[in-house]
Amino acid sequence: MLRDEFEWIKSIIPSHSHQKNLLMGIGDDAAIWSVDEDMDQVVCVDTMVEGVHFTRDTLSPAQIGHKALAVNLSDIAAMGAIPQFYLVSIAISPECTEEELHDLYEGMRKLADLYKTDLIGGDTVSTKGPLVLTVTVIGKVEKGKSLYRKNAEPDDVVFLTGITGESAAGLQLLLSKTRQYSFNEAETSLTSQHQMPQPHIKQGRLLAKSGFRTALNDVSDGIASELNEIAEASDVTIHIDEEKLPISSILKSLSKNERLTYQLYGGEDYVLVGTMAEKDFNQVVSEFDKSFLPLYKIGRVTERGETAVLINQEPLTKKGFNHFRER
């Protein structure tokens, strides 16, 4: 059994690439290669497994479909790219009905329609095990505009495109009561955040189109983990100001410890976290304002050469979800 997902991935990175036009292979939210003078091609893949990422009690079939595509669109957003096509590989378990599969594909289609993204292929197999759904998304980005994790520099501000913590709090509710429970309005907004995350494609595009140097990552495993990935890729120290972290109005009633655990380690928020120079940030904030989108300043990048993330001067480690540690 592998102990650490991140360490294992590092060990499989090829020592060289055959293709000269490869711009980013393993190590970011998506791979990128150049195809012509104007655009670069972007591709990413993510898998959802019943019993690991969802159960029949936490997500409906339509929500499984929505989420499997949404998490990939979120990786496309984290590169600043535009999604175009998707492929779906599905391992169908014996309990799955035709109606459920129909709903699952409808969940994907409705989200794909919002982004003019076309289903162009996939694969269908049967399994005696749990349902496994793998989605691949292909997109494009203007040459030189993609937003890599390795782009952070000292004196950058650290920003978030949305609040974190609601998805994890919603998951707790679903695990304790199941999705059949009659949740009140506040609880429903938490559970919806977990079940139907909305990828921040528009935010990623605003950042890419600004043309400013930006480091960017999407929040799948919690901001503690994602900020450590930016710090590692850029070899910098990142300071987070706990007071500046945006707080969900629904989570305000929790104890500070419980709330901060959700905000920092919860994950599955699918907002974007990144860094850019302060003068550029101020311009981008007004672009976001015009689109009624929030952009929160939550910290600062300090020196290069020391890879670390600190919150109130204390180390913030990658305690988010790691596939080989938590089982």
Q: How far is the CB of 28 from Mg ion (least distance, A)?
A: 8
Q: In this complex, which beta carbon is closest to ligand ADP, that of residue 100 or of residue 134?
A: 134
Binding mask 35-74 for ligand ADP (x = CB under 6 A): -----------x----------------------------
Q: Quick count: other Cβ atoms within 10 Å of Cβ 199?
A: 26
Q: Quick count: other Cβ atoms within 10 Å of Cβ 52?
A: 14
- Rounded CA separation 111/221 (Å): 22
Question: CB–CB of 75/137 below 8 Å?
Answer: yes
Q: In this complex, which beta carbon is closest to ligand ADP, that of residue 50 or of residue 75?
A: 75
8-state DSSP, 117: -
27 binds, among Mg ion, ligand ADP, none (CB under 5 to 8 A by kind): ligand ADP
280 is in an annotated binding site: no
SS3 94: coil
75 is in an annotated binding site: yes
Binding mask 27-46 for Mg ion (x = CB under 5 A): --x-----------------
Q: Which residue among 1, 3, 11, 12 contacts ligand ADP (CB under 6 A)? A: 12
Q: Which residue among 2, 7, 9, 102 contacts ligand ADP (CB under 6 A)? A: 9
- Rounded CA separation 150/171 (Å): 31
First to last CA, the chain: 10
Is residue 218 involved in binding Mg ion (CB under 5 A)? Answer: yes
Chain residues 70-129 in contact with Mg ion, contact rule CB under 5 A:
75
Q: In this complex, which beta carbon is closest to Mg ion, that of residue 29 or of residue 40?
A: 29
CA 137 to chain centre: 14
Report the interhelical angle of 223-234 vs 256-265 (nearest 10°). 50
Cβ-proximal residue to Mg ion, closest one: 29
SS3 289: helix
Question: CB–CB of 184/247 below 8 Å?
Answer: no
Q: Cα angle vertex 251, ends 301, 263, to 5°?
A: 30
Q: How far is the CB of 320 from Mg ion (least distance, A)?
A: 12
Is residue 75 involved in binding ligand ADP (CB under 6 A)? Answer: yes
Q: Which residues are annotated as a binding site for substrate?
A: 53, 268, 321
Q: Contact positions toward Mg ion, by CB under 5 A?
A: 29, 75, 218
Q: Contact positions toward ligand ADP, by CB under 6 A?
A: 9, 12, 26-29, 46, 75, 220
